[in-house]
Amino acid sequence: MTSQRNVWEHLGATDADWAVASRPERRNGAWADDLDEFYASGARRIDEVLDRLPEQAQRASVLDYGSGTGRLSFALAARFDRVTSADISTSMIALLEKRAAERGITNISTVDLNAGDPPANHDLAISLITLQHVQTFETVDRALRTISASLHPGGYAVIDFPTPPATLRRRVQPSYRAYRWLRAVGVSTPRLDKLGLSGISMLYEAPEPFEKRLLAAGLRTLGVSLDDQAYSVQGTYVTQRVVPE
């Protein structure tokens, strides 16, 4: 079996930008022809997120949890004094660092989540289209606790998580199941790449139980928006770290 860490490490080495922004037409390195649009799409998403924050939210330091190749981190670096970019894929972190240096971006620090947690006392943390791709809800809960701990009391977090899809096929995820079975019997990842199987998994949860999950991690939901996506309805949760009494 291949762990999700290995899946994302492989994707980071072979098709990193598509793994971050998985449009079908951008597979097999096609984002390389239009990196300006890749990063511009991240800037548009960040502006949408920041518009949802309360006016009193401080904007000095921010954590990008699941930063990938910096699609969102680079936009955050133009809007915050300090950015922490954290990911489980060392190959993606390395690419982020290389591109940041090429662009003269100096206010980003990186964290390998396999080696340790991000520092505390951020004003904001974001985790967009990331937590849905871990394998278990136990891992989701652990990530939410890490995100919460990265904030100062009263700090804000914006987190994406999809609701259950309407169709049985999308719930069953046959492509992902095929990937896991073929890897278990020894089929190589390059061969699976040629078959169009990436190993990316999906988790889903309805808003009410996910809000309880957030609260258990110390994040109180202030608002949630539900947006139609190709695979499901995506929930975007604006939360605030609970201030200890």
Identify which has the larger pLDDT, 156 or 198. 156
Rounded-to-integer distance, Cα 210 and Cα 216, Å:
10
What value does the mean pLDDT of the chain take?
91
pLDDT of residue 81: 97
Dihedral class, residue 190 (left if φ above 0, else alpha if ψ from -120 to 50, else beta): alpha
Q: What mean pLDDT do residues 140-145 have?
A: 97
pLDDT digit string, tens, across residues 124-142 = 999 999 999 988 999 999 9
Give percent above pLDDT 70 in the chain.
98
pLDDT of residue 48: 95
Residue 107 has pLDDT above 80, yes or no: yes
Number of Cβ within 10 Å of residue 94's Cβ equals 16
pTM for the structure as a whole = 0.91
Helix or strand holding residue 18 (H, E): helix 16-20
Reduced to 3 states (helix: H, G, I; strand: E, B; else coil), residue 238 is strand
Question: Please, what is the angle between helix 207-216 and helix 137-149, to 10°?
Answer: 50
Cα–Cα separations (whole angstroms), residue 212 to 116, 134, 144, 218: 26, 19, 12, 10
Reduced to 3 states (helix: H, G, I; strand: E, B; else coil), residue 38 is helix
Residue 146 has pLDDT above 90, yes or no: yes
Q: Give the range among 9-18, 28-37, 165-174 with minimum mean pLDDT.
A: 165-174
pLDDT of residue 25: 79
DSSP 69-115: TTTTHHHHHTTSSEEEEEES-HHHHHHHHHHHHHTT--SEEEEETTT
Within 13 Å of residue 2, how many CA atoms lie on the same side as its CB? 27
Cβ neighbours of residue 175 under 8 Å, at least 6 residues apart? Answer: 196, 197, 198
Q: What are phi and psi of 70, to 5 degrees?
A: 90, 15
Residue 28 has pLDDT above 50, yes or no: yes
Residue 1 has pLDDT above 50, yes or no: no
Residue 2 has pLDDT above 70, yes or no: no
Under 8 Å between Cβ of 100 and 159? no
β-pairing, 108-112 vs 219-228, is unpaired
Residues across the chain: 245
Q: What are phi and psi of 50, to 5 degrees?
A: -65, -30
Rounded-to-integer distance, Cα 129 and Cα 20, Å:
9
pLDDT of residue 181: 87
How does residue 149 score in pLDDT terms, banded at 50, 70 and 90? very high
Rounded-to-integer distance, Cα 99 and Cα 106, Å:
11
Q: Give the range among 7-11, 65-69, 152-156 with minimum mean pLDDT.
A: 7-11
Residue 199 has pLDDT above 80, yes or no: yes
pLDDT digit string, tens, across residues 35-54 = 999 999 999 999 999 999 99
Under 8 Å between Cβ of 120 and 149? yes
pLDDT digit string, tens, across residues 50-82 = 999 998 889 999 999 999 999 999 999 999 999
Q: What mean pLDDT do residues 144-164 have?
A: 96
